[in-house]
Structure 1
Amino acid sequence: MIVNEHIEAEAIRHDVTATVKTFEHPRYEVPALGVVADGAEAVNRLLGALLAAFPDFQIERTAVHHADDAVIVECRLQGTQRGEWGGIEPSGKKMEVPAALIFLFDGDGLICERAYFDQATVVRQLAPTK
């Protein structure tokens, strides 16, 4: 299944090029960050920044649901922050946040990944210790 290939490329192999190739039309929407990356170049930048900030980034799947034109993956996003992400300077701290990833399709072609997570939880985990 293309969603499994996509998650493996992004979160196991950390291969941005292979991740982008899983799309018929590359597009990420990340409402928590106010980001829409539309097109291969924008998606490359977004994923490159994510993996630079969290070089050990992982997605731990907890449930998968199927709809007529979507696959929904419930998961935990995890990683250790080594670079700037979402306006947060590198902290060296780990983040782990529940998320819902909605993979949207046009026929058999993947056209968008929409990632929902609580940015406040991420900020709290990465904030400097006082």
Structure 2
Amino acid sequence: MSTDEATRNKATATRLHDAVSTRDPEIISKVIDELVAPDALFHTPVPMGSTGAQALKQVWTVLLRAFPDIQVAVEDVIAEGDKVVSRNTVTGTHRGEYQGMAPTGRSVTYGEIFILRFEGGRIAEIWGVVDVLSQMRQLGAVS
């Protein structure tokens, strides 16, 4: 795997981040279709009944409904071989139903780390670790 390939993969990951940063469902959906393999494998909790690019679109539909002002700040990006790792800080205000919870109006800030594996220039596999406990604490779901 060349340095050029790692650089291209990092640029692709940045394009995905830029798309989700628009908070525009049409742009997000279009870019996911372009950059994520239809059968991409997820090693994260994703909605049941969907896989690949479709699952990622569903995740963003849920997040945008729950946190319409969601922002993902990329703190670190490391690209090596066929993988790109990003450490992010997510912020948002709970304004819509989320995980069965009615909107609380509370703000949340939590961390996440994602590893993306690329194949043929597209995201083929995703691992994610999201600080859900911190998120749920801030929403008042757990003490």
TM-score (norm 2): 0.75
The structure 1 residue matched to 2:99, chosen from 86, 90, 101, is 86
Whether 2:31 is the aligned partner of 1:19: answer yes
Q: For the residues of structure 1 that align with 2:87 and 2:55, how far apart are their CA atoms? A: 25
2:62 aligned with 1:52, yes or no?
no
2:16 counterpart of 1:6: yes
16-25 vs 98-107, which moves further: 16-25
Give the gaps of 5 or more residues in structure 2.
Answer: 1-10
Deviations 1:73-96 (A, max 9, x none): 011011111112223321111111
Q: Is the 8 A contact 2:84 2:116 kept in 1?
A: yes
Q: Distance in 2 between matches of 1:28 and 1:12?
A: 25
Indicate the larger mover: 11-20 or 101-110.
11-20
Question: Structure 1 vs Structure 2: percent identity of aligned residues?
Answer: 25
Give, in whole Å, the separation in 2 of the partners of 1:82 and 1:102.
29
2:84 aligned residue (71, 87, 92) = 71
Q: RMSD between aligned alpha carbons?
A: 2.2
1:35 maps to: 46
> Residue deviations 1:51-100, cap 9 Å, x none?
11111111111111112121000110111111122233211111110110
Higher helix proportion: 2
Does the 8 A contact of 1:30 with 1:116 survive in 2?
no
